[in-house]
Structures are given as structure tokens and as C-alpha cells.
Amino acid sequence: MSAREKRGTAAVVGGRGFIGGACVEALRDTGWDVVVVTHNAPLAARHDGYRWGDMLDPTTLGPAVEGVDVVVQSANFPDYPFEKPRQRHDFLEYDGLGTERLVRAARAAGVRRYVYVAGVGVTENPVKPYFQAIRRGELAVEGSGMEHVTVRPAFVYGPRDNGINRIVRACRYLPVLPLPGAGRQNHQPVHVDDVGSLVARASEPGAPEGTFEIGGPDRMTMRSMLSTALEMVGRGRPVVDVSDRVARPTARMLAALPGSLLTPNALDFMREDFLADLEPLQKHYETRLTPFLEGLRGYLTR
């Protein structure tokens, strides 16, 4: 089968997002017809190839995935990882309950394969609420009866990311780089195009099923990762350690205010180590992982 021969139809739920957008591009590049599922109903109504599907409303999900061969789930709540429980914008409603809703809709629609973009750090019996929500979603996918693949990326970066790019923009005005725990968290940054490529390959008929973690070839601390990016654009800044006794009360206070600021769960999430076990990926999917400096140069130096 040639790279451009049509494979079938894939629905990418969250296809307008950072990771979802890369999945859409990779799937199209390898010959898939792609339906972009978005929670923005007016936008979906105006554009061919778009469908309305809201992770919070199960009545919208069946029509969103009707007639497709593969569902790719890469949907996060707005302003992730800053939760707004009053608006149901949180890990449980999207990664947990939302995945269960979407799995039921996909199974009822006769979808052949389900690819769930989750995240590294999930264990069999997690104790943190965000990992509990993701694991709940994983179990729904695994028990669906459909062919299934779970992709667990480490810290994902790229031209549209809201992590490194947000820090680079902020340091136009900040004289220092404030980081919880001095940025000692360990990361394995993975380029968004590498994640998209894996999702496209995992969508193929007969592709290996199971759970595959993906991270880049470089391991570094958050401090090193951000300092490297800032130095590349000429905005190197000294790091200031934001201690937990300052960060946690601040997170509780900001969580009560409107806007995308900070919450205790988001603070805990940012303090996690995100390292990938690449052995299953390398065993089943031959892939080149983009070195961090190469990936940064592809967009930060433009």
C-alpha cells in the first residue's frame, strides 16, 4: 500500500488542539480521510470535514464518530492543566468520564480501532487525581472490545505548545524565571510531530495494540529545558526557586479567581517527573525521535 493510498476515515476528537492538530496532519499525510471533531458547534457547521462533538455531552458524540474506521482521542479541557470544576473543565470529566462517553459512542458506531492519547506517569493504581482520571480512561479503552492503542507522551513541545512558548513570551518582561522546586523535575521532551507520526502508524489496520510511551532521546530537568529554549532566543534568565510554602497558598488563592491562573492540582502536575519507558515503542514501532535542540531550532529560531 503506497503512502498516499486511502486508508479509510479517521475522526480526531480534539483535532484543533496542539497534539490533535499534529495527529490530523500525520494521518492526512499517510492517506487517511480525516474528520476533525470539535466542541465548537458553529465552527463545525461552517467547515467541511468538521463535526461537532462535545466530551461533556454524550448526545453529540455518536453523530461525531458515525461512519469512521478509527477514533483518535486527543481532547483536553480548555486551558489544560488549569482546572475549572464549576464548568466541568477538569481531568475527571475529560480523561475519565469523557473517555467513557466517547468509547461508548465509538463502539455503538462500529468503529474498528480506538487510539487514546494519554500521558506518561500513569500506573496501575494511581493516587493522584489527574493520573486516576487518565487511568480510568485507559481502562475504558482497554475494555471496549475495539482494537485499541494507548499512546502516553512525555512533555510535548512544538510550534503551538502552551508550555515552552508561554515561558518564552513571558520572559520578554520577566527579569528572572520563577520555577516551583527550582525546576528540578525530570523530563524527556518529545516533539509534537513525533507523537503525531506514532498516532498515524498506530491507526493502521494490524498495527500493534497496547500501551506505548513516547519521549524524546534527551533527558533533562525542567530548568535545563527552559533555560536552553530561552538562551536560544537570547532571553536567558536566572532561575528563582518558588518554594512549596509560597506556591501552594498562591495556587489555592488563584484557583478561586476567574481566568486561567493556577490551581493546586495544576501545581502538583507541573512538579511531576515525566519520563517514558521507550522499550515497548522501540520493540514494535521503528521510529526516529527528534533531539531536543533540533526540535527547538525548527521553530524558535524563525
Confidence of residue 264 (pLDDT cuts 50, 70, 90): confident
- Point out which residues pair with 250 in neighbouring strands: none
- Point out which residues pair with 270 in neighbouring strands: none
Work out the angle at residue 139's Cα, subtended by the Cα atoms of residues 208 and 198, and round it to the nearest 5 degrees: 35
Domain boundaries, the chain: 9-161+188-218+274-289
Confidence of residue 2 (pLDDT cuts 50, 70, 90): very low
Rounded-to-integer distance, Cα 299 and Cα 24, Å: 19
DSSP 3-state of 59: helix
Please check whether the domain covering 9-161+188-218+274-289 is classified as CATH 3.30.365.10. Answer: no
Q: What is the pTM of this model?
A: 0.91
The answer to whether residues 90 and 83 touch, using CB atoms and an 8 Å cutoff, is yes
pLDDT tens-digit profile of 158-188? 999 988 998 898 888 889 888 888 889 999 9
Helix ranges restricted to H, the chain: 18-29, 41-46, 58-65, 91, 97-108, 129-142, 164-170, 192-202, 222-232, 244-255, 264-270, 279-284, 292-297
| Non-local CB neighbours of 134 within 8 Å, separated by 6+ positions | 91, 95, 96, 118, 119, 122, 126
Q: Per-residue pLDDT for 300 more than 90?
A: no
Please write down the HEC assignment for all residues of 205-225: CCCCCEEEEECCCCCEEHHHH
- Point out which residues pair with 197 in neighbouring strands: none
| Non-local CB neighbours of 241 within 8 Å, separated by 6+ positions | 179, 181, 182
Integer angstrom CA distances of residue 189 from 153, 176, 214, 245, 272: 9, 23, 9, 28, 13
pLDDT tens-digit profile of 19-77? 999 999 999 999 999 999 999 999 999 999 999 999 999 999 999 999 999 999 999 88
